[in-house]
Structure 1
Amino acid sequence: MNILLFGAGGNIGSAIAGELLSRGHTVTGVTRSGKAEAAEGRAGFTAVAGDATDAATVARLSAQGYDLVASAVGPRVGAEDDRKIIVGAAKALIEGLTRSGVRRLVVLGGAGSLETAPGVRVIDSPHFPEMWKNNALAQIEALGLYRETTGLDWTFISPAKLIEAGERTGSYRKGGEQLVVDAEGNSRISYADYAVAFADEVEQSNAVQSRINVAY
C-alpha cells in the first residue's frame, strides 16, 4: 500500500512507520518540521512537512495517490494545547479527506473513554492522572467527531491505559469499548506492539467505522 502517515516523528508514529515499512508498504511521513529521523533513509520512506490541523494541507497531501491515510498526531506533553492538536487534527482529517476523496483513515486514539465497568470510563477514576485529563477529553471529543461522519471508513485505535517503550513481541489482544486488561488487572502495551496492531488494521480493515482497544 501507499500510505500517508501524519505524526510520523513521535514515539508512536515512528514505531508505526517502521512497522509499515517492514511489511513492504510505502510510507510518506508528515511532520511539522518535515523530518522523521527514526525512519529517514529507509527504503520506501519519504518525509514531508505539513500541519495535520489544517484541512487544506490534509486535502493537498492526501490527493497525491494514497491508498490510505493514517494519523498518530498528538501534542507535546505539557507544551501544547491538547484540544487544539487532537480535535483540530480530527476536524481537518475529516474535511481534508472528504475533499481529496480518500475514504480509509486509521488513527491513534486515547484510552480515557474506554469502560472499566458498565458506564464507568477510565477517565472517571479518581486516580486518573491530572496531567493526562485534557488529552483524554480531547480524544473523547475527537472520537465523537469520527462517529458523526459517514463519508470516511475510519478506525480509532485506543491503546492500553499505559503505552511505553518496550520490545516488539508481535502479540496483543484486541477489544472494543471495554479496557483490555491482563489477569492482574493491568493494561499496558509497548509502542512497538501497538504499531503491530495498527499495521494489522491497516492491512485487514476489520474494524471499519468503529473504535478498538489493544493491549497485552
Structure 2
Amino acid sequence: TYKGEPVRATAVEAVGAMQVLLRDAIHPNLVQTREGTPAFIHGGPFANIAQGTNTAIATRMALKLADYVVTEAGFATDLGAEKFFDIKCRIAGLKPAAVVIVATAKAVAWHGGGGARGGLGNLLKHIENVRLFGLEPVVALNRFDDDTPAELRKIVNFCAKHGVEAVVAEHYAKGGAGATGLADAVDRAIQKNRRRKFRFLYPLEASLEAKIEKLAREVYGADGVD
C-alpha cells in the first residue's frame, strides 16, 4: 500500500482462487512438441534474475521416464550454464552427460564486431567455459536461409581445430529431420564424456569472496574483483 504495508490475498478475496491455482503447481506441466515429443514446462526463470533453469523436479521426473533428457540453461555458458552446473546440478545431484552450445553465423559475426574473424574468440571462450566443468561440448550451428556455406564452414572448421564437433542444425525449418546430425553428435559426446569427470567450479565451503573471484576470473575472463 502507499503506507508501506503488504497487500494480502485476504484483502482482495483471492485466497480460494489462489489455492485452486497453486494446488497442483508443484507438478510439472506435460505438453508436446509439434512432432509429438513429450516435454515438461515447470519453472524456468531468466538467468539474469535467477538461476535460469527449469525445476529439479521436472528434470528428475523426465530422467525417470526417458532415455535422453534435453534441458536448457539460457544466457550462454557464463550466466546460464555456470548456474546450471554449480547450483542446480549440485543441489539436485545431477551429472550432465553432454553439453550443446547453440550458435549462429550471425551471432558469431556480430559478437566480434562484424570483422573478418568475427566472434570466433567469443565462441571459443564458451567452449573453454564448458571444459572448466570437465565436459566436452558440441556446437549446434543453427542455420538461417541467408547463411552462406562459407560462413558455416568457417565456424565448423574453427571448432574442429579446437577439438570440438560442430554440426549445422536445421530443425527450425525441417523439424526433427533437420536435427538428426546434431543428435548423432550429442550421442558421440555422451560416449566421450563418460571417460571424463564432471566437476564444480568451486567448493561450497569456500568464502563468498573466493567464489566471486573464481567466477569472475575463470568464467567471465576478468582480471579480478575490486
Q: TM-score, normalised by structure 1?
A: 0.42
More strand by share: 1
More helix by share: 2
Q: Rg: which structure is higher?
A: 2
